[in-house]
Amino acid sequence: MAIIPTKVSPEQIKDTLKAYGNDLQLLIQMVGNSPKEIRITEDMEINTNLTIPSNIHLIIREGSRVFVNENTIVNGRITCYSSETPIFNIASGKTLTLNGPFTADLNRIFNGLGTALFPSTQHNVKEVYPQWWGTSNNIHTAAISSALGSLINGGRLIFTKQVFNTSGILINTNKTHIVIEQDAEIKIIGKTGDPYYLISVLASDVSISGVGVLNGNRDNLEDPNWSCHIIRIVADGKSIDNITVKDISIKDAPSYTGGGGFSRGDGIYISKQGNSAYTISNVRISNCKISNCGRNGISVIHCDSGLIISGNNIIGAKQCGIDIEPSMLNKHIVEGALVTGNTIDCQSLGGRGIDAGGEACSFTDNIIKNPVSAGIFLPEHDSKSNNISGNSIIRSGKYGIWVPIKNYGSHLITNNIVNIAGRSGIYIQKGWNIVTNNIVKDAGTILGNLQDIQTATSANPCVITLNNHGLSVGDRVRLSGFSHADWKAKLNGVVSAISIVNDNQFSLTSIDTSGLPAFSGRGRIESVKGGSQNIGIQIVDQKKNIEALSRSNPMILTWTNHPFSEFVDEDPDDVRKFYVQFTGIKQADWVNLNYGYREVEIIDSTSLSVVGLNSSGFAAAYDAEVDPGKVNVDYAGHNMFGPNSLENTLGKMFTAINLGSSGYNDVYPQQYIGDYTYTIRNYLDTDYIRGTGKTTIMISNRTLKPEETGGIFTNRPDEEYVVSSDTTTTLPIALAPLEFTFISKNSNYFMNIKPASGEEIIGYGVNGLVDVGAEGSILQIRCTVDGKWDVVAHKKYTRIINSIGGTTNLQARDTGNTYTNTDATANSTYNLPAAVPGLEYRFIRTHNTRTIIVSPNGSDFILEQQTGLNFGTGSGPSGATLRCFVPGRWEVTHNQRNNIIKDVGVGVTLNRNDKGNFFINDSAGNNTTVTLHEATELGIEYTFMRTSANRTFTIVPNANDTIQGLNQAESLVVGNQYSIVTLRCVRTNFWAIVRRIST
């Protein structure tokens, strides 16, 4: 030992040590308080408790060892030079406390059963390296543990360029910072036992950073069924705060499948232990690369505040890229989290990109590629008032954004882009959501993998060679990546139908490349197929006929592919609750199931058990073939849509917006690109659509809103929704210049329009009811003076109703119909409703022996008739049209009694003596042609009815005349059997079609 700067030889140093009897303490006393260096060049022992002051710089030369046999505190600097053997040998139970700066190479420095400590201070943050504690058979667990244990007040544990094998790293000291440098890797080597981790954080003010790798080593574990999280951040035994994970790479988190889901296997897992009062807050995860995780890339079960997940790149998580879900033990919901700027590529392995649970959280500007079920999923129960904005979702197998059953919502879903989804771009089963300024492109489309073609012909049609192309009849392909300039201009971005030539070739239907030079360079194709729903934005209707109910305890509901099937294979620890509603059940005992929501548990994809319901005592088995009962999921809500952009560039999007059948939706004008079978389908009684003049929607009983002006409304049934009743639509308060158009598209049920209470539809009176008419009828109605509606146009096809006899009580909604008795087996009596202006009915007796009697209601009367109208028997039909212009009074606007020409044959020309007659071709032996006289007498009118099943009925105008809607002298075909046309001369040389009934 020597005192520096006095220059002495090694022999003198040895002599000095001998003089002090190898007593370092005496030497320190001799030095005093002045700064000095003490160099140790040979082994020495510390056999008494010793404190080395801060003025001493201890330099330990290569090959020298210090045996710490008593507790020693070093307040000064220590510099250690490389050595093949450990420098400090610390006796069992003894402590070497290193308060000052410490410098050493990356070799083993510490040995023995004692403890080395590096207490950090505010101005002196310690850095340690696992190499200082050495390895055992290339296992670094003990060394890492000792290194962490040395940082009793926190500090930096630095992993340098090598592989560190460990069975787990536990951080339970505050202010600990793990730094994983370039080319450093920490790898799990085997089972650690519960709680299963590579790194477990149980302290505050902790960071894990650097550009190195955390490796879950899942393909090389001793037990393939063992699983762990790579980083586990948990409040266990105390609250923790301020955790940062940034810039590192995480890969290969091991998991196993069992119990119907994945167990562990998250890249980063954040929660707390059990149902405790401890909290976890201010966790930030940024700029990490997380790949190939067995379950989730990042999973958050519990975080009280301050959660930020940003800028991460997550690839290939089997279940979910980022999963924010509630704690099932304490029902905790994550609040106020920010998930932004992440890129997630599910690689068609994982179910979803982001599970956007939590309350008042923001999920913004994320890019999600290739999810299987959904790009962003807002879980039921635990997802409330979240902001879903600015995200891009590309090629989702099912849904772009999915708001499922039992989600109570109030979400803002805005400025997102969904580019290709196998079913729906935005799929909503529940909630009160604002869905606006989104772009949904090519929902209902499934794209195959991009494939490089071998060659293409310059021909018409172009033939593509692609070995083992795997395409089928009916497929289409999208072309891209053609590098030759001419081929690029012609084909890139084109979607084409194909014809199969053989397993290795197909032709592009209608694509002519005969004018192009020989193919060279590169070209790519991907198949374009339609998905199962083909809808841009959908509010789902889950109501279905009941398949079967069991008499058992609990009762079992059979529902093939029920809406909860998505959760059959979910994590068994992820406990969710599901509910159904029964309606319309008539059968005894079973009727008590109607209404109210009942919790169910999933048995499999076809069976649900109803919690707490014992049906074993019901008298009879449920008969699904007879009973009309239905089952629905619990969902409803108020959603606001628009404006959004719906783009159908690949031709597979069947419907732009589909609005389900319960709740309340407010739809603003949308932008539509491409062709759709439906732009909007509306099943709800409470919806209103803000009109654009371009939108066609489904309609049920409801009151329109002023904002819907310009809308086109229809009651068209389709394959998803069967209109099962008449609809009555109430107009809003009449304020100029509101305008609506209605189209009847249902042959079975009426579509009625009425004004707001106390207001008038001109021609139909105050509170008058307008029947739009039979299928194909169009009503356009406009307010030009506040308080009144004008019928701008009404192209009405009336219904023909054939009575079999007996008494029929007509209603106001029946206005415009025509009643016949061709197939009557008894006389027919029709009782009119109360005479309200605008109501009109037509009666035609078409039976030779059965009469039709029409009777007014109460004190009402038929003008110029003492009682009702009686159409007696005779050789042919009699008819009349009744219309109410004044309350309480009916007027006969057309009365034809037994003045019929039968068997008119070919070549019959009418004259003015035939005016008012009713013409049929009941017994015509040939196709019937009636030629009109010249239209010169205003008001003259004729009616034609085709009664022959096999003979056509054609009306030919005079050469100088025109029939409405046709060219001059062009003939009019009456239509199929029982079709009726009434023509009236309304101006010289012009016949107006005043009534047309098509069958």
- Burial of 510 (C-beta count, 10 Å sphere; 0-12/13-18/19+): exposed
Instruction: Provide the token pair at 568.
Output: 């059959």
Residue 643: cis peptide before it, omega within 30 degrees of 0: yes
Contact 830, 854 (CB under 8 A): yes
Neighbouring residues of 381: CB distance < 8 A, sequence distance ≥ 6? 326, 406, 407, 408, 576, 577
How would you classify residue 859: left for phi > 0, otherwise alpha for psi between -120 and 50, otherwise beta?
A: alpha
Three-class SS state of 630: strand
Q: What span, in angstroms and rounded, lies between the C-alpha atoms of 692 and 684?
A: 19
pLDDT of res. 671: 85
Query: Which residues pair with residue 963 across a beta bridge?
Result: 991
228 half-sphere exposure, CB direction, 13 A CA radius: 32
Nearest CA to 293 among 214, 212, 194? 214
pLDDT of res. 629: 84
State the residue for tokens 């070995």.
467
Q: What span, in angstroms and rounded, lies between the C-alpha atoms of 974 and 331?
A: 70
Nearest CA to 375 among 404, 406, 405, 344? 344
pLDDT digits (tens, 9 = 90+) for 290-327: 999 988 999 999 999 999 999 999 998 888 999 998 76
pLDDT of res. 349: 67
Measuring CA to CA, how many Å separate 810 from each of 580, 701, 724, 807, 953?
Answer: 40, 21, 20, 10, 31
Chain centroid, CA 785 distance in Å: 44
Radius of gyration of the chain (CA): 43
Q: What span, in angstroms and rounded, lies between the C-alpha atoms of 96 and 117?
A: 6
> Which of 411-420, 536-545, 572-581: highest mean pLDDT?
411-420
pLDDT bin (cut points 50, 70, 90) of residue 483 is: very high
- Burial of 646 (C-beta count, 10 Å sphere; 0-12/13-18/19+): buried
pLDDT digits (tens, 9 = 90+) for 866-902: 556 665 544 456 677 888 888 888 887 666 544 455 5
Measuring CA to CA, how many Å separate 649 from each of 425, 530, 653?
Answer: 14, 13, 9
The phi, psi pair for 119, rounded to 5°, reads -75, 120
Residue 130: cis peptide before it, omega within 30 degrees of 0: no
Neighbouring residues of 251: CB distance < 8 A, sequence distance ≥ 6? 213, 214, 215, 216, 289, 290, 291, 292, 293
Q: What span, in angstroms and rounded, lies between the C-alpha atoms of 765 and 759?
A: 8
Sign of CA dihedral 551, 555, 558, 559: positive
Judged by average pLDDT, the poorest of 89-98, 762-771, 895-904 is: 895-904
Q: What span, in angstroms and rounded, lies between the C-alpha atoms of 514 and 459?
A: 4
Contact 321, 267 (CB under 8 A): no
pLDDT digits (tens, 9 = 90+) for 132-174: 998 777 889 999 999 999 999 999 999 999 999 998 999 999 9
* pLDDT at residue 540 greater than cutoff 50: yes
Contact 123, 100 (CB under 8 A): no
Contact 871, 862 (CB under 8 A): no
pLDDT of res. 455: 94
Q: Give percent of the chain with pLDDT exceeding 90.
A: 36
Q: What span, in angstroms and rounded, lies between the C-alpha atoms of 501 and 240?
A: 66
The phi, psi pair for 130, rounded to 5°, reads -60, -30
DSSP string, 863-881: TT-SS-EEE---SS-EEEE
Query: DSSP character for 566?
Result: G
pLDDT of res. 597: 63
How would you classify residue 950: left for phi > 0, otherwise alpha for psi between -120 and 50, otherwise beta?
A: alpha
Averaged confidence pLDDT in the chain: 83
Cβ–Cβ contacts within 10 Å for residue 32, how many?
A: 9
Q: What span, in angstroms and rounded, lies between the C-alpha atoms of 426 and 744?
A: 29
Residue 10: cis peptide before it, omega within 30 degrees of 0: no
- Burial of 872 (C-beta count, 10 Å sphere; 0-12/13-18/19+): exposed
Q: Pairing mode, if any, of strands 889-896 and 878-886? A: antiparallel
Cβ–Cβ contacts within 10 Å for residue 515, how many?
A: 9
pLDDT of res. 220: 73
Decide: pTM greater than 0.85. no
pLDDT of res. 821: 85
* pLDDT at residue 720 greater than cutoff 50: no
Instruction: Provide the token pair at 719.
Output: 């394959």
pLDDT digits (tens, 9 = 90+) for 635-663: 445 678 878 888 888 877 878 887 765 55
Q: What span, in angstroms and rounded, lies between the C-alpha atoms of 511 and 749?
A: 46
- How many residues does this entry show for the chain? 999
Contact 158, 181 (CB under 8 A): yes
